[in-house]
A and B are shown apart, each in its own frame.
Chain A
Amino acid sequence: MEGDVVQMGAYIGAGLACTGMGGAAVGVGHVVGNFLSGALRNPSAAPGQMATMFIGIAFSEALGIFSFLVALLLMFAV
């Protein structure tokens, strides 16, 4: 049981870093939900804004991917 506190800390940190992905999930859901509520009000304008929606998803999702990356780095690289 002795030693290897660093390893333990790295694994705990990896788990904590994964909570960031939840934030990204909230963000992506927010983007798509708002897009949908706008699109249902004015369906004819919706197809033109699909690209904007995907850009928004990509930007908010990137931050979740960053936290995933931090988790991976803690698991395998530290």
Chain B
Amino acid sequence: MATETRGEEGGLAFHPMDQFIVKPLFGDGPVGIVTITNVTFWMALAVLCVVALLVLGTRGRALVPTRTQSVAELAYGFVYRMVEDVVGKDGLRYFPYIMTLFMFIVFSNFLGLLPLSFTTTSHIAVTAVMAIVVFVTVTVIGFVKNGAGFFGLFWIEAAPLVLRPILAVIEVISYFVRPVSHSIRLAGNMMAGHAVIKVFATFAAIVAISPLSVLAIAAIYALETLVSFIQAYVFAILTCVYLRDALHPHH
């Protein structure tokens, strides 16, 4: 039965999950800690794109911005307003961090949409590192700013006294699930979307349904472009929400 399944999978033109394999960029030795892989390459490319947009784009500092400069200003203003609205004025100290996260994720997601490219954010290993750093940072900020008052986040004073211990347990659990859901949301969305595109791409090899399949790829590609942006936005805004909780544990 297992061999049958294998044979069936071999019938597809390619496996939809093949695009997520981490390979060394040069040669094909084992992947160690310092091996240059395709993940390294696409991450570096994402960083280079961010630098190109934000540093080179605003180098002219024209009063009437060029196209690149207005995109850079738009991105800056977008994240700045988001931090200001969600966290508040005192959260603007942490704006560079959230801007970095947002730009990196946006560019990783968009670069992953290029044909034959590799989506770095589709790997839980990548997003988990970002989510854990956010989690640790936020927890440390919470304790530094509020001291023991940070526990007020779990002890909800607005609730009746009888309910408070139960709510505290729920709040503690939901606090520790945060890095899990934070990372899996991004990785899962990226992986699912790209796998769906590839599944439809395998259908394109069947002549009878290939026109339909090509249309479906176009539609899903458009959806993925939207999802790529929205997931980066969601990651950034959830970081803001966690930061707000850390700065103001008593709502």
A residues engaging B (CB < 8 A)? 1, 3-4, 7-8, 48, 51, 54-55, 57-59, 61-62, 65-66, 68-69, 72, 76
| Cβ–Cβ contact A4 & B1, under 8 A | yes
B160 vs chain A, min Cβ distance (A): 25
Residues of B within 8 A of A (CB): 1-2, 5, 17, 82, 85-86, 181, 184-185, 188-189, 191-192, 230, 233-234, 237-238, 241
Establish whether residues A51 and B86, one from each chain, have CB atoms under 8 Å apart when the complex forms. Answer: yes
Q: Are B230 and A54 in contact (CB under 8 A)?
A: yes
Bound form: Cα–Cα A2–B244 in Å: 57
Residues of chain B lying within 8 A (CB to CB) of residue A1:
1
Q: A65 contacts which of B86, B185, B230, B237 (Cβ < 8 Å)?
A: B185
Q: How many Å from the CB of B123 to the closest CB on chain A?
A: 13
Contact B181 A62 (CB under 8 A): yes
> Nearest residue in B to A66 (C-beta to C-beta)?
B184
Cα distance, A76 to B9, chains bound together (Å): 13
A55 lies within 8 A of B241 (CB): yes
Question: In the complex, A76→B16 CA distance in Å?
Answer: 12
Residues from chain B with Cβ under 8 Å of A8 in the complex: 1
Number of interchain pairs (Cβ within 8 Å): 46
19 A-B pairs with CB atoms under 8 Å apart are: A1-B1, A4-B1, A51-B85, A54-B230, A54-B233, A54-B237, A55-B237, A57-B234, A58-B237, A61-B185, A61-B189, A62-B185, A65-B188, A65-B189, A65-B192, A66-B184, A68-B188, A69-B188, A72-B191
Nearest opposing residue in chain A for B186, CB measure: A65
> Smallest CB-CB separation from B177: which chain A residue?
A62
Return chain B residues, CB-CB under 8 Å to A62.
Answer: 181, 184-185
Answer whether A55 and B238 are a contact pair too, CB < 8 Å, given A1-B1, A7-B1: yes
Q: Which residues of A contact B191 (CB under 8 A)?
A: 72
In the bound complex, CA of A54 to CA of B234 (Å)? 7
Shortest Cβ distance from A54 into chain B, in angstroms?
A: 6
Q: How far is the CB of B189 from chain A (nearest CB, A)?
A: 7
